[in-house]
Chain A
Amino acid sequence: MEGNSKLSQFQPVKSIFEINREERMAPGHRACAGCGPMIAVRQILQSLDVKPVVISATGCVEVTTSTYPDSAWLVPWAHVAFENSAAVASGVEAAMHALKVRGELKEERPVIALAGDGGTFDIGLQALSGALERGHRMLYVCYDNEAYMNTGIQRSSATPFGAWTTTSPVGKEWPGKAEIKKDIMGIVVAHGTPYAATASISHWKDLMTKVRKAVSQNGPTFLHVYAPCNRGWRFEPKDTVEVAKRAVETRFFPLYEVENGRYRITVPVAKPRPLEDFLSLQGRFSHLLKPENSETLKELKSIVEERWSKINAAASVQAQV
């Protein structure tokens, strides 16, 4: 579908002077001090010159920004439910196209669906898959804080192996979460999605460049943003960006993009820091650093290594071609 012609040009973000300085998230919202997802939202919205339409899934970002009669959103915004942000955004995109054909709308706006990991990896996966397959021009952003934080830190399929949550507690029989994190990027890429990328709030130029690149595509795009939650991960509010940074530097959360099937690591990590540097800041992993859980820690390290190798291999193979 045709979109807004201005959007198809895309400029990488090289310095703070190249971003949109207009604030799109009003102060005074109710998010916790040190909230990672709110940092992500601010970066995403200020990547763009045009005002996007944002469709929020139910979740932390939604409830903390939209208590009647207040709204912190300085862009057009709607919330409908938890599992359907991709479907609602599909309807917005199709409607804009219909109205433009009828001459009742001058210019289509970029559409951003915004959901947490629960709303993406779990309950919203079907709606996301449908929207990707149908090819709507939209950017789907998953802000990943690796559990259901709004309801009180319950595990999701995005929660990493070994992490404590209120539904993956640590005990004699349980090591924290016993299952590995779902490969959401692999699932998205398997749809033939033109552009999918991971990003972290700690690497804001990389994140904002990826938002611009995604919005310039004439089709569905996906951004998986690592957005630490200090309440759920059990760390000091001041450490949010540091935790996100260490996730990248330990190769725990690799930053890469997949453009028309081609993998590229956008933030190479030649010499990774020890995984403990990331884990030790967070209460949710504190049990892994105890001697009796050394086997679980070993297993987590091998999962991290395997994930990195897979992405690195995909990127290297294509670099040689």
Chain B
Amino acid sequence: MAQFESVQTRKSLLTGDEAVAHAVRQSNVDLVAAYPITPQTIIVERIADFAASGAFTGQFVPVESEHSAMSACIGGALAGARAFTATASQGLALMHEMLYAASGLRLPISMAIANRALNSPLNIHNDHTDVMGSIDSGWIQLFAENAEEAYDRVIQSFRIAEAVNLPVAVNLDGFTLTHSTEPVEMLSDEAVRGFVGRPPKRDSLMDEAPKSFGLMSLPDSYQFFKEDQSRATTGSGVTISQVEGEYVKLSGRDHGALKIFGSGSKVMMVMLGSYAGTARTTARQMKNGGEQVGVISLGWLRPFPERQFLDALEGVETLMIMDRSVSYGAPAGPLASDVMSLLYRYGIKRKVIAVTYGLGGRGFLEEDAMRLFRYAEKSGPSFESFFFYGGE
């Protein structure tokens, strides 16, 4: 741990958005192109502050839409620059087309998504509808449970993206994380700069010999590009773990592919994002009372951490999978569908309860977690396996 001790850290009180902005300031970013949308705005405002004061040394491009934000990041990355943007909700939906362009062009772009519900009806509060609509756009999707984790994952995102030639999104829950002030232990500027370095040389529009990017591909070649891209995404887990491992040496903080509490408990609640903390606190209390409950909190969703997830199933009887978005008309919510297809593919049988909850900022308290744990513990052969939970 000598290396860890040598790095200066600074404990600050920051919102999740501010933590992300600091991570960008420290990460030798060349280009930030962004458009304001609640609850991402503070990220953009702080980066603009840093640019105005000279603390951010890249170019800040205040574009006229999220579609252009991602387009400008793509242009920047094609020119060999390190590019970042942040968005949420409608903004992510508007840049949808460009998400596929970024990943298809195999460009290392980083983005923070301040997760928020989608219109209609209009709602600015948190859920995961935005990211789930883009989950298959070819981006690596990481999730933070708190502001410090968002900070850490944004710093790591640049290294990951540039190593595997894929764009990386770091998701943080709107308001719950973006606007809540928490203690964040920032690394020194020098430590972060040393960790992220400069982007490795890649083919670019600046090369002396002219190169063409974004060619049209006919049926003879298109599927091969997509197969290659799919393999790169699935295989990126190894690199993500390596980068995380290096970062642990620097910070002492290990977030990993998933966090398990109550390993081997009969009932495991599978969570994504900040509400995992509530579930964990509840599980701890219940465990003290002798109940067999635990929590799996996913830090990666794409690539899905298959091996790590399957390893966590030893001794588990029931998985209660918590979705904060709806896949209308589907057999379950998107996270539950992922887990069920994984189980089926490996021939693993577990009782699954798919719960949709927390839409549009609907709260999730310890009493809610307890009620759901108890339901999962008791549910017999006639239990409901897919339902909306909205508290009582």
Contacts and interface: CB of A to CB of B under 8 A. Distances in A.
The interface centre, meaning the residue of B76, B101, B212, B214 with most chain A CB atoms within 10 A of its CB, is B212
A127 B72 CA distance: 10
B79 to A, nearest CB: 4
Interface stretch (B7-15, B60-68, B133-141, B325-333): B60-68
Given A88-B71, A91-B75, A95-B30, A66 B216 contact: yes
A78 interface: yes
Interface string B194-224: 0000100000011100111111111001000
Interface of B: 30-31, 33, 57-59, 61-65, 67-68, 71-81, 83, 97-98, 101, 105, 198, 205-207, 210-218, 221
A140 B30 CA distance: 24
Contacts, number: 162
Interface string A6-36: 0000000000000000000000000000000
Interface of A: 51, 53, 55, 62-63, 66-71, 73-81, 83-84, 86-99, 101-102, 104-105, 109, 126-127, 129-130, 133-134
Given A90-B75, A98-B31, A99-B79, A127 B68 contact: yes
5 contacts: A77-B212, A84-B71, A90-B63, A90-B72, A94-B59
A94 B31 contact: yes
Given A77-B210, A78-B212, A91 B64 contact: no
B216 A76 contact: no
Contacts of A88: 71-72, 74-75, 78
Nearest to A74: B210
A125 to B, nearest CB: 11
The interface centre, meaning the residue of B31, B73, B78, B79 with most chain A CB atoms within 10 A of its CB, is B79
Nearest to B204: A76
Contact of A53 (B58, B71, B205, B214): B205
Nearest to B75: A91
B206 A98 contact: no
Given A68-B217, A94-B76, A76 B207 contact: yes
Nearest to A88: B75
A80 B97 CA distance: 10
Contact of A98 (B59, B67, B213): B59
The interface centre, meaning the residue of A68, A69, A78, A91 with most chain B CB atoms within 10 A of its CB, is A91
Given A53-B205, A73-B212, A95 B218 contact: no
Contacts of A53: 79, 205
B104 to A, nearest CB: 10
The interface centre, meaning the residue of B57, B72, B206 with most chain A CB atoms within 10 A of its CB, is B72
B81 A95 contact: yes
Nearest to B69: A87
Nearest to A73: B212
B81 A90 contact: no
A79 B75 contact: no
A76 B212 CA distance: 6
A185 B30 CA distance: 33
Contacts of A84: 67-68, 71, 98
B66 to A, nearest CB: 11
A129 B33 CA distance: 16
A88 B77 CA distance: 10
B36 to A, nearest CB: 14
B225 to A, nearest CB: 8
Contact of B216 (A51, A62, A81, A133): A62
B215 A71 contact: yes
Contacts of A80: 71, 74-75, 98, 101, 105, 214
A75 B215 CA distance: 14
A130 B68 contact: yes
A108 B222 CA distance: 33
A91 B33 contact: yes
A51 B211 CA distance: 12
Nearest to B100: A81
A96 B79 contact: yes
Given A66-B214, A127-B71, 8 more contacts: A76-B211, A80-B75, A81-B71, A88-B72, A94-B76, A98-B59, A130-B63, A130-B64
Contact of A94 (B72, B198, B215, B218): B72
A87 B211 CA distance: 20
Contact of B214 (A78, A91, A98): A78
Nearest to B201: A104
The interface centre, meaning the residue of B31, B77, B98 with most chain A CB atoms within 10 A of its CB, is B31
Contacts of A104: 80, 198
B218 A67 contact: yes
B213 A92 contact: no
Given A80-B71, A84-B67, A127-B68, A95 B80 contact: yes
The interface centre, meaning the residue of B78, B83, B97 with most chain A CB atoms within 10 A of its CB, is B78
Report, nearest first, the 7 A-B pairs whose CB atoms are least far apart: A91-B75, A130-B64, A91-B72, A95-B81, A87-B71, A87-B68, A71-B212
Contacts of A93: 75
Contacts of A97: 59
A75 B71 CA distance: 21
Given A51-B210, A80-B71, A91 B31 contact: yes
A154 B52 CA distance: 46
Contacts of A69: 215, 221
The interface centre, meaning the residue of A90, A104, A127 with most chain B CB atoms within 10 A of its CB, is A90
